A and B are shown apart, each in its own frame.
Chain A
Amino acid sequence: MISAFTTVAVVIAGAAAVVAVVLGLAGRKPSDLTLAGPAVVELLLLAQLVIAIVAPFSGNPPTGNPVEFWAYLISALIIPPAAIFWALTERTRWSVVVVGVACFAVAVMFVRMQIIWTVQGA
């Protein structure tokens, strides 16, 4: 696992979460702007997926539990599309807040994934 990538991903996902919650509470409805955040977060998760597949073959295997790691990654991959889909079914400001909450959950899961991958002697 690449810790620098995790840091970048957590910062971007966290920023996307704050932007969406603020825009939502300010009364903005779902739009290209408010849904760009979760779209970027989903791209980061796809990059994480590629890293998780490639890393063990390039001398960077997980020292933690791989089952737990993959459970987190697969769950996280589902969250942004679900939030975007739900935002499109109801175009209110609360849907934008929901998108923010989803981005925040993914940010937390990025941190957990890094911890699980690099844990010592679990």
Chain B
Amino acid sequence: MTETKPARPKTSGAGRTLIVFYFIMTIAALARSIFEIVSHFDVAPLAYVLSLFSGVVYLIATIALITPGRPAFRIAQVAITIELIGVLVVGTLSVVDLALFPFEGDRSTVWAYYGLEYLLIPLALPILGLLFLRSQRQVFAREA
């Protein structure tokens, strides 16, 4: 490992709080979707697969945020961008067609209604994440 280290590790300071939110969303989305898929997949397959997808994106983002180095920085950027697009597309679809992901009968998904079930944290997280990465990019550029 001959990577240049940033002045302050990403897991320090305010970034630490962001990573905790990502970690909690990873656990919440993965646990929920895996439970739903195992116990009653046929009730709402699309919603559950979307929840699983969001969980995988959160997992990749969490690991990439913790890992130092430029490749991890890029992976975090891509994952968080996909996350932002995902929550906007799924959120908008759920609002346009209210019958698509209803709360009744456990047929909703993590990103439905822009993450309303999770206090809209899924909407705020990718924006804060991309802003955080922008601030980190300066740290990386200075070190290089």
How many residues does chain B have at the interface if contact means C-beta atoms less than 8 Å apart? 12
Question: Which secondary structure dominates where chain B touches chain A?
Answer: helix
Q: Which residue of chain A lies nearest to B31 when distances are taken between CB atoms in the complex? A: A71
Q: Known interface pairs A75-B27, A90-B12. Does A101 touch B21 (Cβ–Cβ under 8 Å)? A: yes
**In-complex Cβ contact of A71 among B12, B24, B35 (8 A):** B35
Q: Which residue of chain B lies nearest to A95 when distances are taken between CB atoms in the complex? A: B16
Which residues of A sit under 8 angstroms from B21, Cβ to Cβ? 101
Which residues of B sit under 8 angstroms from A113, Cβ to Cβ? none
Q: Does A92 contact B (CB under 8 A)?
A: yes
- A101-B35 in contact (CB<8A): no
**In-complex Cβ contact of B12 among A83, A92, A97, A101 (8 A):** A92
- B16-A94 in contact (CB<8A): yes
Q: Known interface pairs A90-B12, A92-B13. Does A98 touch B20 (Cβ–Cβ under 8 Å)? A: yes
Which residues of B sit under 8 angstroms from A75, Cβ to Cβ? 27, 31
Q: Give Cα A105–Cα B25 distance, bound, in whole angstroms.
A: 10
- A65-B12 in contact (CB<8A): no
Q: Does B1 contact A (CB under 8 A)?
A: no
Chain B positions near chain A (C-beta within 8 angstroms): 12-14, 16-17, 20-21, 24, 27, 31, 35, 39
Chain A positions near chain B (C-beta within 8 angstroms): 65, 67-68, 71, 75, 83, 86, 90, 92, 94-95, 97-98, 101-102, 105
Known: A71-B31, A98-B20. 11 other contacts (CB 8 A): A67-B39, A75-B27, A83-B20, A86-B16, A92-B13, A94-B16, A94-B17, A98-B16, A101-B24, A102-B20, A105-B24
> 7 A–B contact pairs at CB < 8 A?
A68-B35, A68-B39, A83-B20, A86-B16, A94-B12, A97-B17, A101-B21
